Structure 1
Amino acid sequence: MTRSVDADALNAVVTPIPLEHQGESGFGPLAGMRIGVKDNIAVAGVTTTCGSAFFADGAPAEQDSPVVASLKAAGARITATLNMAEFAVGVTSQNSAFGGPRNPWDRRRVPGGSSGGSGAAVAAGIVDVALGTDTGGSIRLPASCCGVTGLRPSVSVVSNDGVFPVSPAFDAVGPLARSADDVRRVFEVLVGREVPPERAVRIAAPWPFVTSDVDPAIESALRRVVAILHDCDYEITDDPVPSADRAQDVVYTLIYSDLARLHSERLTTEPERFQPATLERISLGRRISDSQRAAAETDRDLFRAAMAEYFRTVDVVVTPTMPVDVPLISDDPSVIPISRRMGQLSYPWSLHIGPTMSLPIGFHPQTGMPMGAQLTAAPGRESRLFELAATIQRETDWHLRTPPGALRT
């Protein structure tokens, strides 16, 4: 007998979409696939709330965003909009409109963010695939926390039209699904072309990456994955990633200065309407000077030049997605310390313009929560990530495991 997930308890869905408005499901490469959409991406006839009290009572979107339109044209059914961190700010998925989503593996814990509802809905079987957005780790962190596979594509490869922004220079729309194969199928529709797997040869597994202060269970899981790749005849190196330890502060400076500008009027006229943690984070941008931003832009360009050189000799680099176990939901109004810690290893790959994928690499021996690894490649080389992820998922079953009560498809 199929066990039914308590979707209400997860708080992952914002708006269920009636069957007659889900799109045609009989034809196309994604025929019948159930897809949920993060609630900062426009779906015709549905209010795009961005998880915020500012937009919760707004008018429905007049038309689909290009990414939603392409999925419908490919036969997918758009079944729901999904909960998220307010204005896609933060990795704990707090918001002022509906309260945050919860992790289906342990509802006391965060699902990651900002695409927390997307990660939770896929893990729980509410949808087959979800669209998320990733600025500093907002697809990869929910994928890791919820035990699914998520892709942050190369910057500007997938359309951001009809998506409420965080920082346009960093925002990327991408899919989350149980398997890398389903992620690839949806990505091909989003970019309008086939992406055949391309075998990577030289795999870098630098240790430490950014910090040596990584949960020992996560370090051990990553080493198991690297051993699997070695046994599958990939060449393994330990080439260090240059300047990765500085990347988080560079990205923070650029993103938060963008956020302060984007929300300037709301910060001035109605700051009390923000969820407190969102207000705290967006307000950081007001203290960033023009000279600090200019210095961060210079550091960004230097990092990207170093990455272009790095990927001349490395095909894919393997790093942990998070350095810590999935945190418990906290009543602490300040989420900045835990947010910085959760995103410590995702932010360098946000500064990079190439693709990064997070996939499951096991479960924490003390808590049973999922753990994830990031695979990163040069710009436009998503094909190498799909091939490597498919290899890992052929050799393991971590991505097939589901939380108690998950819907079976």
Structure 2
Amino acid sequence: MNIVAENIQLGSGKLTVMVKDSIDIQGVKTISGSRALEDTAPAARNAEVIEHILNADCMITAKTNLHELAFGITGINHAYGTPVNPKYLELIPGGSSSGSAAAVAVNLADFTLGTDTGGSIRMPAACCGVYGLKPTFGRVSRQGVHPAQSSLDCVGPFANSVEMIETAMQIIDPTFTAQDSTAAPKLAWLKVQAEARVTECIENYLKQANLQVEPVDAASFEKAFHAGMQIINYENWQAYGELTKTGLIGADVQGRLLKAAETTLEQVQQAEQVKAEFTQEIDALLEQYDALLLPTLPQIPPKVADAENTVAFLNLTGLVRPFNLSGHPAISIPLETEQGLPVGLQIVTKRNADEQLCAIAKFVVKAAQ
């Protein structure tokens, strides 16, 4: 199914784990789904999150495939194959952590790790019908994660329940302590642009859960999306620009990198100003509400056959990317339309309130059952 990049048996224990192939495992090459990195040396040491997993008596069974260089949103990878979306066979698995989401969807692991710089955990989680958490920026170690330098990227887990997301977080972030939400949270609905069938699916779910939400606005939301794009483009060109000379990068990522080369420091500085404005705006909302709710994706994921042009589908990250800019933790809860198509409900809480985020997610899921 093109989910696995390399089979491994590392450690032992009750929980099985798979890890995105942009995270170092000692003695194994980290090629990030790119032929341009096939000749790279095996990793000299484990990433810090790998050490945490092994210390927790888990077994790592594989590295998972991804959108090349983690710089794409569809999950399509012509070099190593596109992971099949197990629950929605014709639809994209989502990127960039495609293999990690698909592995959980088909029960190949108890939990998997992905990375999220512009929605790369939450988006494939929504596409594949699983849970995916982007922690608060900086909460989980990026030591041994590629690219080495990123001001937006977060390591986080996929699983088939919020409880397993919490278990994974307790392993990869030793400061994380699972908690239960005893009182109904005060929830706000962040007004954003999304397809009617996506919004209706979430509205029906919230009605089933008997949850009240108050509509709120974030004036700089769209600006935050574009600012996040500027920063990731600039940083990825710094990290991978040299690889564009190899002739080994897939056409979609090659084109995006060459376009990213045009990003200026002035644009990045302007993006940093938007970051401060948007972060302040979301912080202010989260002083009034326990969590913000919105769709994970603005539309139903496209079919693989229609999604070759990554750039044409960048709007798919329109509702996830802003929270990479602000650094707030966000989780995607899997829902389905009446027609059996995947929709994600995204929940966002205060920075470093990852425990509260999971508790609210558990409350919402339980209320809808």
Instruction: Name the counterpart of 1:364.
Output: 337
Provide, for residues 211-245 of structure 1, a one-character-per-residue CA deviation record: whole Å limited to 9, x for no partner.
2xx2222111111233245x26xx53112223112
Q: Does 1:206 align with 2:190?
A: yes
Q: Which residues of 2 match residues 51-130 of structure 1 at below 5 A?
A: 51-95=33-77, 97-130=79-112
* One-letter code aligned to 1:70: H
What is the TM-score when the length of structure 2 is the normalising length?
A: 0.94
Using the alignment, how far apart are the partners of 1:166 and 1:323 within structure 2? Answer: 30
From 350, 358, 371, the equivalent of 2:324 is 350
- 8 Å contact from structure 1 (residues 322, 343) kept in 2: yes
CA shift, 1:194, in A, is 4.3
Aligned residue for 1:238, secondary structure, equals strand
Instruction: Name the counterpart of 1:13.
Output: 4
Using the alignment, how far apart are the partners of 2:289 and 2:214 within structure 1? Answer: 9
Instruction: Name the counterpart of 1:313.
Output: 288
CA shift, 1:166, in A, is 7.6
Q: Decide which moves more: 258-267 or 191-200.
A: 191-200
Measured at CA, do residues 329 and 313 of structure 1 come closer, stay the same or move farther in structure 2, by a change above 3 Å?
Answer: same
- 8 Å contact from structure 1 (residues 131, 176) kept in 2: yes
Instruction: Name the counterpart of 1:280.
Output: 255
CA shift, 1:64, in A, is 1.4
- 8 Å contact from structure 1 (residues 11, 83) kept in 2: yes
- 8 Å contact from structure 2 (residues 91, 127) kept in 1: no
Using the alignment, how far apart are the partners of 2:12 and 2:110 within structure 1? Answer: 16
From 243, 248, 263, the equivalent of 1:266 is 243
Q: How many residue pairs were aligned?
A: 367
* One-letter code aligned to 2:132: G
Using the alignment, how far apart are the partners of 2:93 and 2:63 within structure 1? Answer: 16
Q: Which residues of 2 match residues 212-231 of structure 1 at below 5 A?
A: 214-229=194-209, 231=210
Provide, for residues 331-384 of structure 1, a one-character-per-residue CA deviation record: whole Å limited to 9, x for no partner.
76532011x1211111122222110000112x2334x23211100011011122
Aligned residue for 2:141, secondary structure, equals coil
Aligned residue for 2:345, secondary structure, equals strand
Aligned residue for 2:190, secondary structure, equals coil
From 164, 171, 196, the equivalent of 1:189 is 171
Aligned residue for 2:359, secondary structure, equals helix
* One-letter code aligned to 2:237: A
Provide, for residues 379-401 of structure 1, a one-character-per-residue CA deviation record: whole Å limited to 9, x for no partner.
0111222112112332446xxxx
* One-letter code aligned to 2:11: G
Aligned residue for 1:327, secondary structure, equals coil
- 8 Å contact from structure 1 (residues 377, 385) kept in 2: yes
Instruction: Name the counterpart of 2:360.
Output: 388
Measured at CA, do residues 201 and 331 of structure 1 come closer, stay the same or move farther in structure 2, by a change above 3 Å?
Answer: closer
Measured at CA, do residues 58 and 266 of structure 1 come closer, stay the same or move farther in structure 2, by a change above 3 Å?
Answer: closer
CA shift, 1:204, in A, is 0.4
- 8 Å contact from structure 1 (residues 135, 167) kept in 2: no
Aligned residue for 1:195, secondary structure, equals coil
- 8 Å contact from structure 1 (residues 204, 236) kept in 2: yes
CA shift, 1:85, in A, is 0.7
What are structure 1's unaligned runs of at least 5 residues?
1-9, 26-31, 398-409
Provide, for residues 5-35 of structure 1, a one-character-per-residue CA deviation record: whole Å limited to 9, x for no partner.
xxxxx210011113xxx2031xxxxxx1110
* One-letter code aligned to 2:172: L
Aligned residue for 1:346, secondary structure, equals coil
Measured at CA, do residues 253 and 73 of structure 1 come closer, stay the same or move farther in structure 2, by a change above 3 Å?
Answer: same
Provide, for residues 105-162 of structure 1, a one-character-per-residue CA deviation record: whole Å limited to 9, x for no partner.
2333210010000010000011111000000000000100011001000000000000
* One-letter code aligned to 1:11: N
From 264, 268, 289, the equivalent of 1:293 is 268
Provide, for residues 277-327 of structure 1, a one-character-per-residue CA deviation record: whole Å limited to 9, x for no partner.
111112221112222222111111111122222211121001000111121
What is the TM-score when the length of structure 1 is the normalising length?
A: 0.85
Instruction: Name the counterpart of 2:301.
Output: 326
Provide, for residues 56-79 of structure 1, a one-character-per-residue CA deviation record: whole Å limited to 9, x for no partner.
243322321110110111111101
Instruction: Name the counterpart of 1:24.
Output: 12
- 8 Å contact from structure 1 (residues 151, 183) kept in 2: yes
Q: Decide which moves more: 119-128 or 328-337.
A: 328-337
* One-letter code aligned to 1:251: G
* One-letter code aligned to 1:303: F
Using the alignment, how far apart are the partners of 1:239 and 1:108 within structure 2? Answer: 35
- Give 4+ residue runs of structure 1 displaced > 4 Å after superposition: none
Q: Decide which moves more: 65-74 or 343-352.
A: 343-352
Instruction: Name the counterpart of 1:239.
Output: 216
Using the alignment, how far apart are the partners of 2:178 and 2:99 within structure 1? Answer: 30
Measured at CA, do residues 198 and 283 of structure 1 come closer, stay the same or move farther in structure 2, by a change above 3 Å?
Answer: farther
CA shift, 1:172, in A, is 0.1
* One-letter code aligned to 2:45: Q
- 8 Å contact from structure 1 (residues 144, 358) kept in 2: yes
- 8 Å contact from structure 1 (residues 96, 274) kept in 2: no
Q: Which residues of 2 match residues 167-186 of structure 1 at below 5 A?
A: 168-186=150-168
CA shift, 1:190, in A, is 1.4
* One-letter code aligned to 2:190: P
Aligned residue for 2:344, secondary structure, equals strand
Measured at CA, do residues 215 and 167 of structure 1 come closer, stay the same or move farther in structure 2, by a change above 3 Å?
Answer: farther
CA shift, 1:167, in A, is 5.8
Using the alignment, how far apart are the partners of 1:373 and 1:275 within structure 2? Answer: 32
